[in-house]
Amino acid sequence: MARLTEEVGELAREVNHYHGEKPKKVTEEANTIEDELGDIIFVITCIANSLQIDLSDSFNRSMTKFETRDKDRWTKK
């Protein structure tokens, strides 16, 4: 969980750099939002594997929930 928290913090930092009020310093590495999202997916996959959780099943249950219970909650594009 500590690693996941760290990676989410790095994602937040990148989002803030590109879409927020705090631009990157010239001395900071050129990480991207895409890289940080990939890191988060990796850590979540490791957690799921260690707990013997099938992420496909988890994702499908979540999508069903969003398509039924929350179907009118989001703006359709």
**Structural domains present in the chain:** 2-68 (1.10.287.1080)
- Cα 1 to Cα 27: distance, rounded to the nearest angstrom: 29
pLDDT at 70: 78
Q: Dihedral, CA atoms, 36, 15, 18, 20, nearest 10 degrees?
A: -170
pTM: 0.77
Q: For 2-49, how does the pLDDT look when each residue is reduced to its tens digit (9 = 90+)? A: 999 999 999 999 998 888 887 777 777 777 899 999 999 999 999 999
Of the candidates 36, 45, 44, 41, which has an alpha carbon nearest to the alpha carbon of residue 16?
36
